[in-house]
Structures are given as C-alpha cells and as structure tokens.
A and B are shown apart, each in its own frame.
Chain A
Amino acid sequence: MATLLKVDRLGISFGGLKAVDGFNVEIEKNELYGLIGPNGAGKTTVFNLLTGVYKPTNGQIVLDGDNITGLDCEAISKKGIARTFQNIRLFSQLSVLDNVKVGLHNTNQYSTLDGIFRTPKFRKVEREMDEKALELLKVFELDGYCDYKASNLPYGQQRKLEIARALATSPKLLLLDEPAAGMNPNETEELMNTIRLVRDRFDMTILLIEHDMKLVSGICDRLTVLNFGQVLKQGSTQEVLHDPEVIKAYLGD
C-alpha cells in the first residue's frame, strides 16, 4: 500500500516547553489510524501542527509526496487535509445545508460579481453545490435537517455535520479530534459505523484522536501512543493495547 502521510521528527516548543518532540508517523492510504494518550500528551497539538494552526519548530510533514510543512490552514486545506474539532465548531448561525456548502467553497467556484448579479454561472454552480451538499448530508442521514440552523441540531448530529463539512472539502486525509466525546454507548456505536462508512464510501484515510477504548479497538488498524509529547509506542491496535508500558502510562491496570 502507498503511504499517504509521512511525518518525520515533528516538534514544536512553546517557550521552553517542548509540547511535541520527535513525532514520527506513517499512514497508508485507506487506513484508519488512532492517536491515543493521556490528557495533555500533545495529541491535539499534533492535529494543529498537521493542519497549519501551529507552525512546527522542526521536522517535516509530507502529504502524498507533497511537502506541506509550514503552510497555513487555508493552503493545507487545499492540499487535502480536513479536520473536526474536540469542542464542536460549526457555523452556528448558518443552516445545516449552508455549513456543508461553505465546505464546498473551494471546489465549486464563482466570483463575487457572479453572486451579486445572479449570472447563469451563479445559478448553475449553486445548483451543483445544493446537490452535492444534499448528497453528503444524506450519507449522514442529516438531509432531513437541511433547513435547520446548525446550532439547533442535537449534539450527535452536530458531530456528524462537522464530519460532513470536512468531507465537503474533498480531502485526502480526514482528522477526527475525539469524535465520541460526550456520547453515550449507543451513540458511540452509531459513530463507529459512520466512521467505517466514511472510510469505505469515500475511500478515505482517517487519523483520529480518541479516549474511548471500545471505539479505538473496534475500528483502528494501527495506533500511536503519545505521552509527554513523545511517541511511547507504535504498532497494530492489539499489539499496542496489550503493551505493558502503554498499560502503565495510559490505560491503567
């Protein structure tokens, strides 16, 4: 299998604190990869480095043969990394449909003047956007909510909408930051199916952060355990979860 993401000795320091140091990972196409570790280990910082929120102080990130180290959020999104957030970040005042359509912003384009003067191009592209957005919402069974304000959706649906919006940017790699946070066992079960569906249906590569071990062991192919900003262990899910060091540092006896 071909490597999609190759991260080499990635690190960032805030003042004297090395939040992430010497982080390596190689993710293959169509893989479901998990990133776990205790609170404050630097998992979300890794996500912020990958998506350009922070600029790494050393190391490099290669996506599909492209060196994307040090690019900003906008450029990295265009290169094909999309993400969701630990605390949901939707466009709360926009409708569910419009949230996804904002995700389509860079793939379906017309100029501002086309928009003001309602040219045929505007009509055509808007129609395409509506169709694409509805199709995406349908995958997540959200199409029935298309005219709801995003902030009025139930919690679980908001999570799904965030994933749908991320997928609208047609990414190569999808980063999910604690998708199961705040969900009950039933919702988590449903989420696992959704994530599998996303991988199969969109032929997506997914890197996710999660504390819910049932979800992690249920769907992840491989894992990396992060502790104090450094890689503690890397390997197949079962191997890592039974490693004594990992049990001691994170899982507990």
Chain B
Amino acid sequence: MMDRVKAEKQKIFRSNMITFGIVIIAYIVVELMMQTGNISSLFKGLLVPLCTYSILAVSLNLVVGISGELSLGHAGFMCIGAFSSATWSMLMKSSGMPEGMRFFIAIVIGAVTAAFFGFLIGIPVLRLKGDYLAIVTLAFGEIIKNLVNALYFGVDANGPHFSLEDSMHLNMDGGTIIIKGAQGITGTPKNSNFTIGIILLLIVLFVVLNLINSRTGRAVMAIRDNRIAAESVGLNATKFKLLAFTISAAIAGIGGALYAHNLSSLQALPKNFGYNQSIMILVFVVMGGIGNIRGSVIAAVVLTLLPELLRGLSDYRMLIYAVVLIFMMLCTSAPSWIQYRDRIMMSFKLKSTDGKENK
C-alpha cells in the first residue's frame, strides 16, 4: 500500500510541476516574442497586470477554495500592499539605496503590511460564516479604499505626519508630501517588469502549493470540510482560518506592490481597488475552479486578455465576454458537463491502454 501512497504523492508532485512548467513556458514564449519584436505595445503593457492578477487569483483561492470562506474584500489588501510599498519607495527614492534592494524591501513591506491588516480584520470577521462574512469583507475592502483615498501622509525633519483632512493639516515643516489624498502617490519608480512579475508568481505558487500539501494545509482543508470533526481531533479552527487568511492577505499585498511599481501615479480608485476589482478576482477563482490553483492562474490570464483581444469588435466585446464567462462556468462547474468531459477523457484513456495491449 505504501507504493499507492507514493504514487499519489508523485501525482501531486507532477501536477505542481506542470503548473510551474506552464508559467515558465509562457514566460519563455513571451520573452522570445519580445526579442523578435512580434508583440504589440498594448500586449506589452498587459504583461505586468497579468502577473498581478494571477498572484491575486492564487491568493484569493487560498481563502475561497482551500479555507472555504467567501471573501469579497481582496482588492483592499491589494490596495494596502500597493500604497505601503509605494510609500517606502518614495521615501527611499533619493537615499541612494540600490534599486533592486529597494524594490525587494518594498515588496516585503507590501506583504507584511497587508498581512498585518489581514490578521487584524480576520480576528472579528472570521467569526462569521457564508453570506455574512462576504458582506463584512466587502465592507472592509471599501473602508480601506476610502480611507486611503482620504489619507494625507508626509515626512519632514520632525518625522512622519498623518492627516485625513487635507495637506494643510499635516503641519509640515518643509519636507515632502507622499500621499496626497485622492491624488494618491505620484512619481512612483517603475521597478516592476515582466521577469520580476513571473518570479513573484512562481514564488507565490511554490508557497501556496507546498502549503496546501502539508500538515497545515490538511488542517485548513479539514476545518473547511467539517469544523466540528476537526475540532474533535484537536485542531484549533480559528487559528488555522486566521493563518490562511493572513497568508492570503500577504500574497495580495505582494500583488499590490507589483501593481504599484508598474504605474507612475497610484490612486485608490473604485476601478483598481474597489469592489469591482474584488469581484473580478473572485470571478478568476470561480472560473478556474474553486480550490484549483493552476486553474485560477489560467482563468486570470484568459479573462484579462480577452477584453483586450476583443477590442476590435467594439460593441460586441462585453457580450462575447459574458458568453465566454457562462461557457467557462458550465465547463468547470456544471455536473452534466463534468460527466461529459470525464467520459471523453475516459475514452481517450481507454484508447491509449488499448494501444499498449495491442503492441
């Protein structure tokens, strides 16, 4: 029986390697296309957002798929990661710190700050279940976005100054104002590029996939499947739910840092950090299959590219987008479609084994 356990482990290992493989091959193909100049500037501009959204989809899948809680405020954590990391980069812009080092620390700061807020918000929020949890996380996401929108932050010789009123209330003595309320941060160094995005995505995938297939991930999934039974075998349900939520927030923070350093001006708009964005990330997760990490990356890429690719169809763009959404959902979730898909797969399998026997 040990061989069957080992075979199962092999299967998981192979599946993880396929996930990494897809990302690496996609990277090589795109790099080659860039070298040979076969890529439009529109598509070039999409490369970093593609990595950002993939990271966010993986992050949310950890909460929705693995921990089994519906969170609708993920753009909020992305927002925290974006603004905290951009603030750091602005502060250190003229300090002469090597750019690579500065960006690395910016990403760490984005992750840690988002994780901290994830932890704080998780404590009250994870006591709720289902719809209630969804509503409260939605509210927190909006609160974060609106707070950042009203936040003024500057640094002078006396140290940092905060205000929620306007730049006058900062009582600055010279120095620089970094976050200017609704105008956000302008002049963020553009450190993000496709290579860094892919590296971050690979790191995130490595962490999440290994986490799922470990003692901790098993505990989180056990609590998702049956909380009472999990507690009866001595698992602390609150602790593991909070752990998953915090890690997920940290990853969303990384995505935010990547996003912030791709733009020269960063504002907390409904478009980029509002609930529309949260829903969009949730759509990636649902489309890719809840709990399916590889699927959520693929869905994020397809659904980000699609509206851009369909731009030529102008008026019919969103119509086709909606049809594709419905079709994808049927493919991944409808029981009869899954049965049909399995039957097709099975017939392929049978054919290939037949071939082996006849050989």
Contacts and interface: CB of A to CB of B under 8 A. Distances in A.
Interface of A: 51, 53, 72-74, 77-78, 82-83, 85, 89-95, 97-99, 101-103, 105-106, 108-110, 112, 114-118, 122, 125-126, 129-131, 134, 137-138, 143-144, 146-147, 165-166, 168-169
| Shortest beta-carbon contacts, A-B, top 5 | A115-B214, A77-B234, A89-B229, A73-B231, A91-B225
Contacts of A85: 228-229, 232
Q: Is the interface of A mostly helix, strand, loop or mixed?
A: helix
A95 B8 CA distance: 10
A108 B233 CA distance: 13
A98 B5 CA distance: 10
Contact of B233 (A114, A122, A166): A166
Contacts of A90: 225-226, 229
Given A112-B211, A112-B214, A112-B243, A105 B235 contact: yes
Nearest to B238: A74
Contacts of B226: 89-92
Given A118-B210, A134-B2, A134-B5, A73 B232 contact: yes
A112 B222 CA distance: 16
B218 A82 contact: no
Q: Is the interface of B mostly helix, strand, loop or mixed?
A: helix
A53 B228 contact: yes
Given A83-B232, A102-B222, A144 B1 contact: yes
A63 B176 CA distance: 65
Contacts of A147: 4-5, 7-8
Contacts of B234: 73-74, 77-78, 105-106, 169
Contacts of A126: 215
A157 to B, nearest CB: 15
A105 B218 contact: yes
B233 A102 contact: yes
A214 to B, nearest CB: 28
A115 B4 contact: no
Contacts of B15: none
30 contacts: A53-B231, A73-B231, A73-B232, A74-B231, A74-B236, A77-B232, A77-B233, A78-B234, A85-B228, A85-B232, A90-B226, A91-B221, A91-B229, A93-B224, A105-B218, A105-B234, A109-B215, A110-B215, A112-B243, A115-B214, A115-B217, A125-B215, A126-B215, A130-B2, A134-B1, A137-B1, A138-B1, A165-B233, A166-B233, A168-B233
A116 B4 contact: no
Interface in B209-259: 210-211, 213-219, 221-222, 224-226, 228-236, 243
Contacts of B210: 115-118
Nearest to A72: B231
Contacts of A143: 1
Most buried by B among A94, A105, A117, A118: A105
Contacts of A53: 228, 231-232
B310 interface: no
A98 to B, nearest CB: 6
Contacts of B318: none
B207 interface: yes
Most buried by A among B216, B218, B231: B218
A110 B219 CA distance: 13
A9 to B, nearest CB: 25
B230 A102 contact: yes
B335 to A, nearest CB: 15
A82 B228 CA distance: 12
Contacts of B228: 53, 85, 89
A82 to B, nearest CB: 7
Given A103-B233, A109-B215, 18 more contacts: A72-B231, A73-B232, A73-B234, A89-B226, A89-B228, A89-B229, A92-B226, A93-B224, A102-B219, A105-B235, A106-B234, A114-B214, A115-B211, A116-B207, A117-B210, A126-B215, A146-B1, A168-B233
Interface string B1-13: 1101101100000
Contacts of A131: 2
Given A101-B218, A102-B230, A116-B214, A74 B225 contact: no
Contact of A74 (B217, B224, B235): B235
B21 to A, nearest CB: 18
A51 B232 CA distance: 7
B336 to A, nearest CB: 19
